[in-house]
Amino acid sequence: MSDPPDPGPPDLTALPRQDRLRAALRRRAAVGRAVGIVMERRHCSPALALDLLGSAARHRDIELHELCARLVGGFGERPGEGDTTRRP
């Protein structure tokens, strides 16, 4: 008897809508934080910061949200976790 065929990557559309929305919000939050980091470091506009991040993601052949999550994670935060209030 042969093995069943590989089902391939999971179908994200099969996730409940609420889970997909949560994942999208986590990605968006990481991108927003990363844009802020680049703006502060490079003293540039949000549009330029996003362009720089997009270029870096393409250069590394990874998704923008993945690059941003790595950048944000390098500053001691986990994307999508913790509160958004500033601490002294």
Non-local CB neighbours of 50 within 8 Å, separated by 6+ positions: 31, 35
Summarised one tens digit per residue, pLDDT across range 33-63 is 999 999 999 999 999 999 999 999 999 999 9
The domain that holds 56 is classified in CATH as 1.10.10
* 63 within some domain: yes
Q: DSSP for 48-59?
A: HHHHHHHHHHHH
Count how many domains the chain has.
1
Q: Give the pLDDT of residue 85.
A: 42
Residue 26 has pLDDT above 70, yes or no: yes
pLDDT above 80 for 9? no
For tokens 């069943």, name the residue.
4
The pLDDT score that the predictor gives to residue 46 is: 97
Domain hosting 46: range is 17-73
Would you say residue 81 lies in a domain?
A: no
